Structure 1
Amino acid sequence: MDESFANSFAKAQQFYGISLSSFIASVSLSTVIFTLEVLVFFIVRKRLPDLYTTVPEDVDTTRTTRKRHIVANFVRFERHHKHFDRYFFRRYLRSLIVIFTPAALLITPILVPLNYTNGKGAVLGVSGLDVLGWSNVGLDQADRYWAHLLFSLVFIGHVCWVIWSELALYVASRQHAPNAALCTVLVDSIPDDWMSEKVLTSQLEVFPGEVTAISFNRDYSAISKLAERRERMARALETAEISNIRKACRAGVRKQSKKSSSVRCLQYQSRNLLKLFGWLRLEKVDTTLVYREELRKTGEKMDLYRAALKEFPPLRSAFITFANPLAAHMVCQTVIHTSSGHMTPRTMPLSVDDVVWSNVNITWRDRTLRTILSNVLIVATASACVFPVALAGLLSQIIYITQAVSWLSWINKLPQFFLGLLQGVLPPTLVAILIKGFVVVLQYLVRKQGISSRSHIDLKIQDYYFCFLFVQVTVVISLSAGLTAIANEMTHGASLAATLAKNLPKASNYFLSYILLQGLSISANALLRIDCLVGKFILSPIFDKSVTQMMIRRRGRDLEWGTFVPVFTNLSCIDGGGLFYPKALKHLLTGLYMMQVCLVALFLLVRDSQGKAKCIGQACIMVFAIGMTVVYHHLLCRAFNPLLSFFPTALKDTLAKDSTLSPPFLHKALASSPTISIPRDDHGFGSTRTLQLKAELKGVNISNTDAIINGSGDMCLR
């Protein structure tokens, strides 16, 4: 072994890593893009108030008071906030700053000079950005690793303190959450002999208060299909009417009397519905007449359905409303039925929009089968991503591959800047694109598991997505990037222990680029909202032919916390009442375990110039730290897990005081009513058509206050 180590270090690889140029390329490109996006934001912010609306806050506008408010808001944070998801996401970002700022200000200025001074240097194969890291510590300077151990223990204790204090604050703040005083429980898989209000009420009378309402769900699939058809007809009619008005305005038709303007407007009615069948010599039919007739028929049919709701077959699920919100929380935590699977799951939907109506009629057996199949497909999809992610890790260390594979030597002849882009920018970009594709598949598969609450779906997506990010972006990248250099040196006779100790830390170069790319791009994109700009100026003029389409594009998509939060969690290792927050904090412990295990391995791999292990003591202390972290994790879960989803009986008075009468959880198809938005114009065509449609279409909302058409026929939102 001693001879092997001697041969290894005698050969002294003469590789000059370009990790420094890769880092500079990542910094320069990301900084340039970040600066340009921020500059564009400040230029267009006031010119596009519809995209960059500000949310006013009730604070003093004086400069001194405003600065004091910003500082106090960062340091303390008010607990009583209207939107808990936004509040706790801001709090999570603050927690990350509290964790990493002391580390950056205290640990980095000490460890970087310690690693750099009298290090191995290029003579022993360490160059570029690696000279600032762990792998550059001199062979006979193993005592410096005690500083690494000390700061690691301090950092571990600091992270554990932040997580405990933040979870304690979260539990104290949850009594003001929107789901604190909810009184309605959605119960699935109700057995057949319990499918009556009398039986259910008798079974639930053991809970405090009384059952005020029981609403059994029914199979309203026929109404849902009819509502979807009516919505499509409304969108088609809106598009056709707007097309007619724009044609009339462009033709320069002057506004006259109500009768004449109506006649003139009909000259521009769309008659394209049957033009495709012109060879049949059929009579031309006005498409707007067809759409209006279809809307009337579907509206009348829906009225008949709504008048006979009890004729629809019942489903084995129900919304149960209690007078006391404490009873609702107790029902969700109590074993109610003796048979497995019955009366489960029991959830407290935040609102009607939180209910996934297509999943409320799924039995527990079907839900279990769906979950198993979904998990298998998720694992298979994640496994298929291993190869491209590993390829990205190899690209981040391409310079070492060129030394081992001779036919790739032409890469060394590329300019340093292009090499930096190849190693520093391309790998994280490829990983980001791959992650976007995986997110689409993940969201679809989780929603097919049969979960009846959208907020619970987001929480499950958060767990899956974090695991994917951690394994693919952290573990696979680390192994592939580090093994690139390891395999290269092993071909030259180097020992495994020595090469592992020197080259595994080099994988951190990729994460410097990844963090810069994610941090700068996400922050700048959040400000500029490039997708909204592209939609407004490019996609909207081409594809948006109705007011509703333009309004949907302006409103944008809802923020999906399940896939938004894990990105920040993984970089450092949410309105559902902030339920994302405790999960995100616990995910930090995964990164903590990973750091500790890597430190143990690196301590064990440290060798001096004689090939002897020099950091056994540090490794043993870190193993003890892992054990203490496990104990801390157990105590953390035992202390806070029962308080994260439900409320203790000690808050019964507060919950009773804050409780309000829950609105009925009616199926969305029963209360659906399409809206047709007609734009206004200078000639009065829009106002005329609005009055006509209101008179003809009952049960359809007709509005003409959302958009206008100018003299040239161009439409814009108001």
Structure 2
Amino acid sequence: MSTLIPIEDVNYKDLTYTYMGVFYSPKFQQFLNTTQTGLAHSSSGAELSLLTRSLCTSLSLCIIQLAMFCFFRNIFKSLYQPRSYFVPQDERVEPAESGFLNWVIPTLSTNIDYYLCLGLDTYFFVRYISMMLLFFLVVGALNIVVLVPINTSGSSSEFKASGLDRLSLSNISSSKVHLLNGHFIMSLMTIGFFHLMIVYEMESVIKIRKSYLSSKRHRSSVVSKILLITHIPTELLDIERLKSELSIIPGGVKNIWFLSDYKKINVSVREAKEAVYELEVGEIKFIKKYHKKVGNNRYKHYTVMRQLKPKFYPPISINTKLPFGNISLNINIPGLLRFFIFQKKVDQIDWSVERIKKAKKAIEKEKVLLASEQLKKFNTVFVQFNTQSGAYTAHQVLLSQSQGCMDKTVIEVHPRDVQWNNLTKENSATLLVQRYLVTLLCICLIMLYIIPVSFIGLISQVPLLTKLLPFLGWVYSLPEEVRNCFSSILPSLFLSILTSVMMITFRFLTYYKGKLTGAEIEIDLQRWYFSFLFIQQFLVVTISSSITVIFKQIVDQPTSIPVMLATNLPKAATFFYKFIAVRALSFCGNNFLRIDQLILRNTFYKLWDKTPRQKLVRETTLLPIKWGTTYPIYSVYAAIGLTYTIISPLISVFVVLILFLVLTYYKYSLRYIYSHINESETYGRLYPSALLHLYAGIYCLECCMIGVFFLSKDASGNFPMNSHGWIMSLILLMTVFGNTTLYNRYHRYFSYLPIINDREYPDDPLGTDLSSNYQMLYLHPNFKYEIPRVWLPSDDLEVAHTEARHLEDNEGIESIVIPGSTIKFGWRNRFSEIVVRQGPPDFK
């Protein structure tokens, strides 16, 4: 028999009490069609051949997608290498070599120091994946070499595990319980090596962050000296008075920007942008109509064609303010609704011209009010100090002795990262309640995620699904292979979509916590999204199909946690082989090929791009990356690997696979695809959090091994590994102490900057630079808005030039731009395409 107590012999009812019953009822369990054991147990004992067959589809699809990427890479350069062609000349990178596989070696050989030019968050992410890859290569190889032979030799005539479980701890029989000594020693070595790695990386973060932030270029940038201060007292909403109060800070103050009421100019700027878009669309419609009607007759009288001017229903704009939270809603309703209330169409060009005139006057009026300080000031300011050390000093001290005044500061704020609507919210009880409600809602989302997952799980159970939904009985007419394909692929697809929806939901909710910058949102998201993924993609799948069961178990009797982990984790090892391998292959193929964008760019976007400006914006807007929801994904994979590195050492092979593919993809895409500007830069604060999240895997490993040692019994029914269990319990306490000590020792270095240079750091030429136009830099973007010149594409009949002369006669319409784009016609002028060669002079 096995050295462990079988999972079916563990009576969870005896381990729990009844006062948690309010969170878990038999009816709720029956409704969700769940059991006490996790979904991952269904893969227990699976053979290698079964695992290989299940991975063949993913592997084949991945190879096809990679081959397509290698082929299309040099054809669709705007999709696969935009940073080499579609950014300003001084920001471009050298294109990758044009051969089919010539990009692979240069990509893998790129030193991670190169990614410092993309910001500390980007650099540390590449370092994070590289570091974890090295860790699992070394520790994983060592554990495989030592423990796999022990595990395979652990069976006996009375007990032998089946399938791939023979390579894991599950194969140790009671007559060979002494073999667990090897697992004990390797556990200590793995935990020790993990802590050495964490301490080394923490020290490296401090050194690299100090070097980067203290570099000459970064120190001279505006961002390095900016401090956002909230809850300014009314009497200090004066530049000279506030400067005087802050003069005590070493170095003094250089500039102050107050947050003025921008609600009215918001509406006017949105109307102006909408009108410019409709004007350009209307003119291009007219050009197309003209060509279609006239053909190639250049000499047909132009005034006759004025009747071709396009008519349309103007969009409906609704501006309202919610009674709570100082939230303004700007809703645009399609103009087609006017048809149902019997309104007539209007001339699209004339409507747009009048709208631009009106919006321009309103914008200029608000700018004049701003210059004369007649606009309402909110109690939030941006302060630029003369020195970086002055800004950090002000960030670290209490600026006021009055409670609730000047009590929130944010350092190194990028002007395009500000969450302007949250800055206008007052520090009131309403905002506090809103934050707590959002936090509670996030917890509920994590707890209740099992409900949609349970329904998705029905898709894989065809008999049950057709019983609940009889109209799906036609599924049985399909070949068995097709039914199996649907039942295995569709749940994974729907789960991926659901996880993406949850990520978007968490991001939306985090904004309503009142975070002042995008960087703060990313930091908060990292914690919540990791918690969600670790609980739902690991604990729930492994231990129980309902989070309420786990929660009830932990609260009722915390000492049963090692028992719960020891009886569940080993059974789920084979499931995570497949889980991680499939995720690795699908990630690699899908992200390299980007099939959705490849299809859209060659179909839908050609119809969607109605103006040269619209097309240029789409092609030159590089893909942004949100690190707050990127780090947690791979932290969870690493935590799963850490959990199983002793229980089932073969997991390291699959973790190395996914980390290698992820590193390859990001090394390529960060250089050639993603935007090189990270406006929500946290300056490396996400990396230490990602390192500390790995402790979740270490804690699971230690608790599981404690349970294994205490539950393991020999052939005589004795428990000879009790002493090992007590030692491992002590190791767990030491790990908790080490985790707490590491956080308390280092966390201040990730929010603040050491001013005294007690170490020598090489000067780093990289950093953040912004325009030297300080006077407008930290005003709301709409106060800096200028109505752009109308941009029309040139055509063979020069209709655009004629229209330009007519438009320029209108007051408020700037000179029209013609060069830079062309509209080409085909097949009797019935089909057209806009070709953009360059942007207009005022394009931003």
State if a TM-score over 0.5 links the two structures: yes
Structure 1 position 387, deviation (Å)? 4.0
Structure 1 position 271, deviation (Å)? 2.1
Counterpart pick for 1:131 among 162, 166, 170 = 166
Kindly indicate whether the alpha-carbon contact (under 8 Å) linking 2:562 and 2:703 is maintained by their aligned counterparts in 1: no
Letter in 2 for 1:108: I
Query: Is residue 309 of structure 2 the alignment partner of residue 269 of structure 1?
Result: yes
Alignment partners' CA distance in 1, 2:615 and 2:291: 20
Letter in 2 for 1:42: C
Counterpart secondary structure, 2:781: coil
Counterpart secondary structure, 2:783: coil
Matches for 1:348-427 after TM superposition, within 5 Å: 348-365=411-428, 366-389=430-453
Counterpart pick for 1:639 among 740, 745, 751 = 745
Distance 1:331 1:26, change over 3 A: farther
Counterpart pick for 2:277 among 235, 258, 272 = 235
Structure 1 position 118, deviation (Å)? 4.8
Alignment partners' CA distance in 1, 2:414 and 2:5: 66
Counterpart position of 1:191: 233
Structure 1 position 418, deviation (Å)? 8.3
Stretch of structure 1 that moved more, 575-584 or 686-695: 686-695
Kindly indicate whether the alpha-carbon contact (under 8 Å) linking 1:299 and 1:699 is maintained by their aligned counterparts in 2: no
Alignment partners' CA distance in 2, 1:482 and 1:49: 46
Query: Is residue 59 of structure 2 the alignment partner of residue 31 of structure 1?
Result: yes
Counterpart position of 1:409: none
Counterpart position of 2:468: none
Letter in 1 for 2:52: I
Query: Is residue 651 of structure 2 the alignment partner of residue 615 of structure 1?
Result: no
Kindly indicate whether the alpha-carbon contact (under 8 Å) linking 2:48 and 2:163 is maintained by their aligned counterparts in 1: yes
Structure 1 position 196, deviation (Å)? 2.4
Alignment partners' CA distance in 2, 1:458 and 1:367: 20
Q: What RMSD in Å do the two structures reach over aligned CA positions?
A: 4.4
Counterpart position of 1:300: 361
Counterpart secondary structure, 2:80: coil
Counterpart pick for 2:200 among 162, 165, 187 = 165
Counterpart position of 2:795: 681
Matches for 1:412-491 after TM superposition, within 5 Å: 428-480=492-544
Alignment partners' CA distance in 2, 1:450 and 1:101: 42
Structure 1 position 154, deviation (Å)? 2.0
CA shift digits 1:539-597 (9 cap, x unpaired): 32454433444445443652121112211111111851333222222212222222222
Kindly indicate whether the alpha-carbon contact (under 8 Å) linking 1:604 and 1:613 is maintained by their aligned counterparts in 2: yes
Structure 1 position 255, deviation (Å)? 7.0
Kindly indicate whether the alpha-carbon contact (under 8 Å) linking 2:282 and 2:348 is maintained by their aligned counterparts in 1: yes
Counterpart position of 2:348: 287
Counterpart secondary structure, 1:342: coil
Q: In structure 1, list runs of 5 or more residues that go unmatched.
A: 402-413, 487-495
Alignment partners' CA distance in 1, 2:808 and 2:191: 66
Alignment partners' CA distance in 2, 1:148 and 1:348: 47
Kindly indicate whether the alpha-carbon contact (under 8 Å) linking 1:428 and 1:513 is maintained by their aligned counterparts in 2: no
Letter in 2 for 1:41: F
Stretch of structure 1 that moved more, 269-278 or 208-217: 269-278
Distance 1:646 1:706, change over 3 A: farther
Alignment partners' CA distance in 2, 1:71 and 1:279: 59
Stretch of structure 1 that moved more, 430-439 or 37-46: 430-439
Letter in 2 for 1:37: Q
Distance 1:681 1:92, change over 3 A: farther
Counterpart position of 1:714: 833
Letter in 2 for 1:523: C
Structure 1 position 460, deviation (Å)? 0.9
Matches for 1:90-129 after TM superposition, within 5 Å: 90-119=126-155, 124=159, 126-129=161-164
Stretch of structure 1 that moved more, 414-423 or 428-437: 414-423
CA shift digits 1:20-77 (9 cap, x unpaired): 56633442222122112111111211111111115465799999x9999877745x73
Distance 1:169 1:72, change over 3 A: farther
Alignment partners' CA distance in 1, 2:148 and 2:524: 40
Letter in 2 for 1:45: R
Kindly indicate whether the alpha-carbon contact (under 8 Å) linking 1:271 and 1:285 is maintained by their aligned counterparts in 2: yes
Kindly indicate whether the alpha-carbon contact (under 8 Å) linking 2:151 and 2:171 is maintained by their aligned counterparts in 1: yes
Structure 1 position 95, deviation (Å)? 1.2
Letter in 2 for 1:710: K
Count how many residue pairs are aligned between Structure 1 and Structure 2.
684
Query: Is residue 803 of structure 2 the alignment partner of residue 670 of structure 1?
Result: no
Kindly indicate whether the alpha-carbon contact (under 8 Å) linking 2:438 and 2:512 is maintained by their aligned counterparts in 1: yes
Counterpart secondary structure, 1:150: helix
Alignment partners' CA distance in 2, 1:339 and 1:220: 28
Distance 1:502 1:218, change over 3 A: closer
Kindly indicate whether the alpha-carbon contact (under 8 Å) linking 1:428 and 1:517 is maintained by their aligned counterparts in 2: no
Kindly indicate whether the alpha-carbon contact (under 8 Å) linking 2:280 and 2:791 is maintained by their aligned counterparts in 1: yes
CA shift digits 1:188-226 (9 cap, x unpaired): 111223322343223222211111222221111011111
Letter in 2 for 1:678: L
Counterpart position of 1:202: 244
Counterpart secondary structure, 1:187: strand
Alignment partners' CA distance in 2, 1:508 and 1:694: 72
Stretch of structure 1 that moved more, 474-483 or 327-336: 474-483
Letter in 2 for 1:232: E
Structure 1 position 530, deviation (Å)? 2.4
Counterpart secondary structure, 1:710: strand
The percent identity for this pair of structures is 23
Letter in 2 for 1:714: E
Distance 1:605 1:516, change over 3 A: same
Distance 1:717 1:624, change over 3 A: farther
Distance 1:15 1:674, change over 3 A: closer
Counterpart position of 1:583: 689
Counterpart secondary structure, 2:378: strand
Counterpart secondary structure, 2:696: helix
Matches for 1:586-605 after TM superposition, within 5 Å: 586-605=692-711
Counterpart secondary structure, 2:75: coil
